[in-house]
Amino acid sequence: MTIQESLEKVILNEIAGGLGKKSLDPDENLLEQGIIDSLGLMKLVVYMEEHFDMEVPDEEIVPENFQSLNSVATFIKQQMQDR
């Protein structure tokens, strides 16, 4: 399973389950569309830290890093490379 597939699964099943969506466009704006709210963002950060064995610094929790599946996946890859 790719990073994007893993993110999509957790967002759809655990964070935005009430939306009834079956998939997400990789460039869909998760924040503007209301797919992820502030609580959902914190859940996603916890998931990322546990699942990808990484730490998300507070200063990196900005809209640019969590705007879409693509931006979150890119952020994860960058954090993993910087270890």
pLDDT per residue as tens digits for the range 22-37 = 999 999 999 999 999 9
Find, among 83, 21, 72, the residue nearest to 43 by Cα: 72
The Cα 73–Cα 3 span in angstroms is 6
Tens-digit pLDDT profile for residues 43-83: 999 999 999 999 999 999 999 999 999 999 999 999 998 87
User: What pLDDT shows up at residue 10?
Assistant: 96
Residue 16 has pLDDT above 80, yes or no: yes
pLDDT at residue 2, rounded to an integer:
94
Q: Map residue 27 onto helix, strand or coil.
A: coil
* Domains contained in the chain, CATH given: 3-81 (1.10.1200.10)
What does the pLDDT average to over 15-20? Answer: 84
